[in-house]
Every structure is written in C-alpha cells, then in structure tokens.
Amino acid sequence: MRIVIGAVGRMKTGPERELAARYLDRADKAGRPLGLGPVEVREIGESRADRAAARKDEEAAGLLAGLPERSAIFVLDERGETPTSEDFAGHIAAVRDGGTPTLALLIGGADGHGEAVLAAARRRIALGRLTFPHQIVRILVAEQLYRAVTILAGHPYHRA
C-alpha cells in the first residue's frame, strides 16, 4: 500500500527536513516487506486568500488533488482522536489489509483543514492537545509512521 504524506507548506533545507527524511526512509525500507510503501511526501503552498475559510478550501483542494480515488485519508486534526502508537499501527494495518491502495496522511495549514478534507477523512487524529509548528508535526508523523511499521514487524524499536 502506497503511503502519501500531504502537507500544506514547504519544509526548508535543514535539520528538521533531514530528521523527517531519515524516519521516512526507515519507514519505507522496513515497510516494503510488510506491504507498506513506497512513502511519498507531497507539499503544497499555503493559500494567500484573504479569509480563513477560503484559505482552508484552497488548501483542501490542493491536498486532495492527485490522490487516487480509493485512498484512505487520515487527517491530523487537533479535535481528532488520540490513539496510542499501537492503535495507530493497527489502523494502518486495517487499511492495508482491506485492500486500499493508498493511505494519505494529511497535514493542514495554520487555519486547519477545509471541509472537503474533513468530509473525506476516514480518521481524524490528534498528536495530543498541544499545538505544534508545521515542521514538528511533519517529524512526528514521520516518526510515528516508522514506529507503526516496526510495531507491525515485531521489531523492538517500540517498547511499551
């Protein structure tokens, strides 16, 4: 199952991008034998619209553009559920085992997600009740994706 991380905003070259890339490379290599991968990152620019609602709508259209029709969409949303790492791994495995060709993990912009993304979401996931900068969210999603792969592989990286 292909995995796409769609994000509003672009990460600049630097340690944050390198750390996220390191986790995604690990997830990709460890995930392929489990039927998870390739992992792809798609970045879209932030909307310049005047109103927050219009910005969210434009960004939602950009995040959804190009995703295969039968994609399972998990959105990062501060009002979402807060699964454990084991739960997150189980959600990913269930999507894979259900025959879905693509899992999309979508990270919204500063205003949150537009209605089109929220309506398409199979799951809304919060990384906790704290607010994080965009770059940190990307790193956390990459790390949790790698952690999910290791959990599914029975690898000792994750110790409960």
The pLDDT of residue 38 is: 96
Residue 160 has pLDDT above 70, yes or no: no
Cis previous bond, 83, omega within 30: no
* 106 labeled binding residue: no
| β-bridge pairing 39-44 and 72-81 | unpaired
Is 31 marked within a binding site?
no
* 132 annotated ligand binder: yes
Instruction: Establish whether 84 is an annotated binding residue.
Output: no
Determine whether the annotation assigns residue 127 to a binding site: yes
Summarize the confidence of residues 143-160 as an average pLDDT: 91
The pTM (predicted TM-score) of the whole model is 0.95
108 is in an annotated binding site: yes
Q: What domains appear along the chain, each with residue ranges and CATH number? A: 2-153 (3.40.1280.10)
pLDDT in tens, 30-82: 999 999 999 999 999 999 999 999 999 999 999 999 899 899 999 999 999 99
